Structure formats: structure tokens, C-alpha cells
A = this chain, B = another copy of it.
């Protein structure tokens, strides 16, 4: 009587001549099962093309086979890379990805998240920065009993609940490269307060200058908020300083694109008059002129690992010891850096 070829556990049980529970055991890979029985049931399952109904499972298990992606990220490319990595991990599994943007500024943010998690009874959530940097969010997940993994630019949690990049060191290396080229007056376009990544990158910048014994006047630091426009404005301030910086490190690519515009509006040639280094390696980096030297962090891989940590062991609670938690960023050298003219 199945209308759409949707056979149920009952069909399988009847045809295989066993009880529903036995079929259920096969599905859930219960260890205490006769090999013969298992094989027989599996044959029937294959024959019928039977697929367990996720809705029924969700009801009985009080847990949905959904992985949430919680974010409040202004950068489209970053979010897409994360989605791509997650979906790679989820592909071929019984899990689906449901996306949930949240307003981190809102007073009800935590309540919104709680409602979302409780109502949907998510299997787990992947927390993207900057929301992931909020400890009360992690605590909330713990309280509710929802698995979570946080993405971030520093290890904020144990390896079961965190995948992190090494922004500080990566920026240190990038700025050291600038110094090796001969630059001494290097400006920083910093990211927004409240972003851990902004802090990490700024510290990496300061580390590099300190390691080279270069003083860092306050005038060489301008604040931005990760947008193109803010990068443009920050660059204008930096380029007003006399003597002008010969290089600028921008805490992300989008602001770096703004820096390029600002420089070009003043008739400055890049990289002859001004070297620029960005961070992220979004497509924009390769597509501006000149192509931007920048730091690439393996965001899709991080998201993939995060998702794998989440679903490791399926319904059982095995920890995912295999997945890495720390990811290394690398400097991508393109055309926006040269030795200073003077």
C-alpha cells in the first residue's frame, strides 16, 4: 500500500521475517546482532530501497538530523566557503545543513539562539566568528545539550569544540615579509573592536614590528570595520601622515581594496609608491589591480573539520580525535608588494 515507493520499517520487518526492533538495530548498527540476521535484513533493505524516515527518527530520538550554521558575518565569501566546507562533510550522510543568521548586536540574540536550538532540536551547530567568540553562546549550547564547534582565530575552547586559525602568527609573517623588502614605515588598517580576529591580526602586526625593532607611532594605526569604505577612509588618514608610509597592512582584503582606491585617487602607483598586504584571500584579492598579496586561511577546510567533529560517531558520542583543530594560514605573494622607492 505504499504510494510513492516509500517503504517503512514495517515492510522490511515483515519481508525479512523479523521484528521492527531488529531492523532498527540493523539501521543503527547495534553490535549485538547475529551476522546472518543482519545480512538478511540488509538484503531486504537494499531490495526495497528502504530509507528510514528522518522525521520519525527525529521524534523518537528527540534529536533532528540537522546541523545548524549560526553566523552574523558580513562577508559573503567567507560564509559561502564555510557552507561549502560543511556541506562537503555532510555529503553522503543523513545530515542536512540549516542556516541561521543572528544579530549579535541584538539584546535577544541569546534567546533567539536558544529558541532555535530547542525547537529544531538540532544535532549540532557550527558557530562562525564573531558570534563564536561569545562564551555565553557556547555555554548556552552546553546547557541545552546541543553539540557545537566554534570557528575562530585563536583557540578559545578545547579541541572538541574548536577549530582555529593562527592569525597572529600569519600576520607576523606577512609583515615580516614587508620588512624584509625594506619597508620601515608600515601602516595598519585594523579591524573592528569586538572581533577577536581583529585583535589577533593587530597583535601579529605589532609582534613583527617589535621583532624588527621598529617603532610604531600611533599615527600608523587606523581603525576600520572590515568594509571597503572603512578601508578607504582609514587609508586616507594613513596617507596624510608625513612622511607617508611606504606600505600598509590591511586586516582584511575588502578594506585592502579600499586602500587601493584611496591610493589610486591620490595618483599613487601600487606597488611602486605603496605596497599593500591584505588578509583572507577572497576572490577580490586576485581580481583587483594589481593582484593583492594577502594571507590565505583555509576556511573551507576548517568548516569541514568542524562539521566532521560535530557528526563524528553519528548518534553515539564518540569524540572526533582525528580531526585537526589548528589550521595554518599562508602568505600568498602577488603583485601589490615591492621594495620601497626611497
Contact = CB atoms under 8 A, between A and B. Distances in A.
Contacts of A54: 119-120
A106 interface: no
A97 B96 contact: no
A139 interface: no
Given A59-B59, A119-B51, A286 B96 contact: no
Interface in A58-86: 58-59, 62, 64, 66, 76-77, 79-81, 83-84
Nearest to A232: B287
Contacts of A51: 115, 119
Contacts of A96: 66, 98, 100, 120
A150 B286 CA distance: 33
A261 interface: yes
A202 interface: no
A84 B64 CA distance: 24
A55 B98 contact: no
B121 A55 contact: yes
Given A80-B79, A100-B96, A120-B96, A261 B283 contact: no
Contacts of A84: 101
A53 B55 CA distance: 11
A4 interface: yes
Interface of A: 4, 6, 51, 53-56, 58-59, 62, 64, 66, 76-77, 79-81, 83-84, 87, 96-101, 115, 118-121, 144, 228, 254, 257-258, 260-261, 264, 283-284, 286-289
Contacts of A79: 80
A104 to B, nearest CB: 16
Contacts of A283: 76, 228, 254, 284
A35 to B, nearest CB: 28
Given A76-B80, A76-B283, A97-B98, 9 more contacts: A54-B120, A55-B59, A58-B58, A79-B80, A84-B101, A98-B99, A261-B287, A287-B288, A288-B289
Contacts of A64: 55
A99 B83 contact: yes
A286 B120 contact: no
Contacts of A97: 98-99
Nearest to A6: B118
Going nearest first, the 6 A-B pairs with the smallest beta carbon separation are A76-B80, A55-B58, A257-B287, A55-B59, A96-B98, A98-B98
A136 to B, nearest CB: 18
A101 B76 contact: no
A302 to B, nearest CB: 17
A135 to B, nearest CB: 21
A98 B66 contact: yes
Contacts of A284: 283-284, 287
A86 to B, nearest CB: 9
A203 to B, nearest CB: 27
Contacts of A62: 55
A304 to B, nearest CB: 14
Contact of A254 (B87, B144, B287, B289): B287
A91 to B, nearest CB: 9
